[in-house]
Amino acid sequence: MTQAPTLRASGIVKVYPGVKALDEADLVLHGGEVHALMGENGAGKSTLVGIIAGAQRPDAGEIHLDGLPVSPSSPGHARGLGIRAVHQELTLLPHLSVAENLAIGGYPSRAGVIGWRAVRRRAREALAELGLSIDPRRPVGELPIAIRQLVAIAREMQGEARVLILDEPTSSLDRTETERLFEVVRAARDRGVAIVFITHFLDQVYEIADRVTVLRGGRVVGAGRTADLPRLRLISLMLGRDVAERESRLAGRNGESEPAEEASAPVVCARGLRRGRALRGASLEVRRGEVVGLAGLLGSGRTELARAMFGADRPDAGQLAVDGRRRRLTPRRSSRLGIGLCPEDRKSQGLCLGLSVAEGLTLAMRAKRGWWRPLRRGERQEIVGRLTRDLAIRAVDSRAAVGTLSGGNQQKVLLGAWIATNPRVLLLDEPTRGVDIGAKDEILRRVRSMCDHGLGVVFISAELEEIVRACDRVVVMRDRETVGELRSGEIDEHRIMRMIGAERRA
């Protein structure tokens, strides 16, 4: 029953400047088993698999493969050891044929001339091993994403594969595609390979995984057989807090009187928004002076909803109204209408890292005012000074580049830039991720105090505790649609988790 594990990573520590990404993390993988690795953004999943697959070097800890100590120094080295990874951004060449993409590590060739017969024969063999029937001559770019995924798996299964890491392989697949993927995963498992499966879909974990390891904040907070781990327990491990403990503490709150529901009309109102596979029916409205929490696991569509409500992406269907008037929004129009978005991915979407703090803080405001309106030095200093003070932005001086600040201070610059526009509604997508405790508190407090002055906020966070603390109303998303709402008296982590964790409807 308990044979020796295929791979044992123990006490892995990885420190990035300012953050401890992994803190004594352990992972034990058995051959012939699917092992789900769970955790929200920033929990350390990618770092952990990155270390196992040789993309990163740990600062401490050991890895044993088949009982022997190994230290994968590069992805190539790890491949050679039999540790293979299929990343979310598939490393396939779209213009080349399936056969060529399977010819990993070198074409069979003589004097530089490729033996196409051998290439195709090998490809057919590799595909047959997993029971796939794909024409090896077709260019990969022509195949649906789901099939590409299978090609990538087939590629990594060639040769002496011992460990196969699948990083969110199902994030863009539909039900039947996922089924097909699982068949292939099972075929790989039955060949004795230890499979690491990263996903955010609970149903899939229970469907395919034999074991689970849950990471939070760089630590392993739970590990064990899937069968022994109830769904709610898994969610609470991922999102923090013990459900039972919370329940007892929340007894008092439920009795609180519900605050008089403001009859004010919603500022922004989204109804039944759909967008490709990213959003499948999401509704949300924001009124002045309220904080609406948007809860859901990663990949539930919470980011996509915020982006659609800001006009960053155009929805395919559904209604979007501002002040009761239907609008087609673009970021520019939204900003003029008093809507702001602090995107989830600060560095690539939120901030111009090369600009100075003062410029970063005034960019959105000047964009809203129009390019021709000059900003006098005095006014600029007043605004920058006020925001720096209010948000406690710690920078050498306001001429320092935004990129030189710490994560928390960058987040404050992003928030400050939108506060400077005097918005009526702010969509905050994970404003507290990658931010230290102190800054988190400052951000939350600032948001609350602005709501008291009439600002409406949509607050997205992976940490339920924060949502419970900060929000007047919570809308829950699952599988890219909004599935329910909790009013002020009903908000507690347990209820949110139950809504998140409900079984997928057939």
Partner 1 sequence: MTLRLLRSLSLVPASAWSLLAAVTLLLAIYLSAGSVFPWFMSWRTAATILDSAATLGLCAIGMTFVILAGGIDLSVGAVLALASLVTAIALQRWGLPAWLAIPLVCAIGATYGAAVGGLVHSARLPSFLVTLAGMFLARGVALLMTSEGRISMNRVPVHLWGSGVRVVGLTLPALVFLATLGMGALVLRWTVFGRGVRAIGGGEHAARLLGIRVARTRVGAFAVCGLCAALAGVVHSVGVGAGDAKAGELMELDAIAGVVIGGTPLSGGVGSIVGTGVGVSILKVIELVIVSDGSLSAQWAKIVGGGLLLLFVLLQRSVGRITKVWAGGRTDLDPHRREAQPVSRAS
Partner 2 sequence: MSRPGRTAPRVWWPLIALAALTGFNLLWTDGFARLGLDDGVLRGPVVDVVRNAAPLVIIAVGMALVIATAGVDLSVGSTLAMAGAVVAVLLTGPRWGPVPAIAAGLGAGLGIGLVAGVLVSGIGLQPIVATLVLLACVRGGAQLLTDGRTVSFQDSMVLALASGHIGAIPVPVVVAGAWLVGLVALVRTTALGLFLEAIGDNPVAARLAGVPVARVMMFAYVVAGVGAALAGIIVAADIRAADPTTAGKAIELDAILAVVLGGTALAGGRFSLCGAAVGAVLIKLLDTTVVARGVPAQATLVVKAGVVLVVCVLLSDRFRAALLGGLGRR
For the record, the structure tokens of 11 come out as 């006490």
* Count of C-beta atoms within a 10 Å radius of residue 460: 24
Give the orientation angle of helix 493-501 with respect to helix 231-239, to 10 degrees. Answer: 120
Choose among 306, 319, 283: nearest CA to 484.
Answer: 283
Choose among 93, 235, 65, 226: nearest CA to 151.
Answer: 93
Establish if 171 lies at the interface with partner 2 (CB under 8 A): no
Q: Which does 427 bind (CB under 5 to 8 A by kind): partner 1, partner 2, none?
A: none
Q: In what order do the strands lie in the sheet with 339-342?
A: 339-342, 425-429, 456-460, 291-295, 473-478, 481-486
Q: Near partner 1 by CB under 8 A, which window of 98-106, 372-380, 385-393, 468-476?
A: 98-106
Establish if 352 lies at the interface with partner 2 (CB under 8 A): yes
CA distance 439 to 445: 10
Of the residues 62, 142, 179, 242, which one makes contact with partner 1 according to CB under 8 A: 142
- Closer to partner 2 by CB, 209 or 384: give it: 384
For the record, the structure tokens of 389 come out as 């003070």
Establish if 424 lies at the interface with partner 2 (CB under 8 A): no
3-class SS at 339? strand
Establish if 3 lies at the interface with partner 2 (CB under 8 A): no
Range 203-222, binding partner 1 (CB under 8 A): none
CB of 339 to partner 1, least distance (A): 18
Establish if 100 lies at the interface with partner 1 (CB under 8 A): yes
Establish if 95 lies at the interface with partner 1 (CB under 8 A): yes
CB of 104 to partner 1, least distance (A): 6
Of the residues 11, 18, 67, 105, which one makes contact with partner 1 according to CB under 8 A: 105
Choose among 313, 304, 293, 339: nearest CA to 462.
Answer: 293
Choose among 307, 379, 301, 375: nearest CA to 339.
Answer: 307
- Closer to partner 1 by CB, 312 or 414: give it: 312
Q: Which does 310 bind (CB under 5 to 8 A by kind): partner 2, partner 1, none?
A: partner 2
CA distance 339 to 288: 12
Of the residues 18, 67, 131, 141, which one makes contact with partner 1 according to CB under 8 A: 141
Distance of CA 189 to the CA centre of its chain: 26
Establish if 487 lies at the interface with partner 1 (CB under 8 A): no
Q: Which does 396 bind (CB under 5 to 8 A by kind): partner 2, partner 1, none?
A: partner 2
Distance of CA 406 to the CA centre of its chain: 21
The binding site for partner 1 (CB under 8 A) comprises 89, 91-97, 100-101, 103-107, 109, 112-114, 116, 137-139, 141-145, 148, 171-172, 276-278, 303-304, 307, 312-313, 343-345, 348-349
